Amino acid sequence: MSIVRTAHLRLEHWQDCLDLLTEIEQVQQVCGESKHVLARTRFNRYPALIELGRLDEAQRVLEGCLQVFSNVNDLTAQARILSALATVWKKRGDVSRAIELQRQSLAICERLPNPEERAISHGNLFIYLHTGQIEEQCH
């Protein structure tokens, strides 16, 4: 992660972060980077897009990246994308869809050697399940 991008994220300069990522991706394209590398850069756009309320765009970016990561069998990236999509659906208020996506992410994480990815996925799923229970109690 670039220091400048990290600074924009920490300072909540969402549009500056998106502009920088666009510039990075353009340079990568000119340099002939693979679709996989470009998707890794594009994936980093989603937090800023969510914060700017551009959920449809965030979803399109994530779904496009998921296709690329699926094509090259990058399981770690696929799990992260599914978790990010869960965040998009949670922001839309569809907790059941968020839970479904987070469960898919966890299923992939269970096949990965890194326990940290599994722990994060379990934590996210807990949050969505807890949120869903609270919403059911309120209705």
pLDDT in the model for residue 5: 61
pTM of the model: 0.87
Q: What is the chain's alpha carbon radius of gyration, rounded to the nearest angstrom?
A: 16
The arrangement of secondary structure in 74-139, i.e. its CATH architecture, is Up-down Bundle (1.20)
Reported as a single tens digit per residue, the pLDDT across 51-70 is 999 999 999 999 999 999 99
48, 18 Cβ separation under 8 angstroms: yes
68, 36 Cβ separation under 8 angstroms: yes
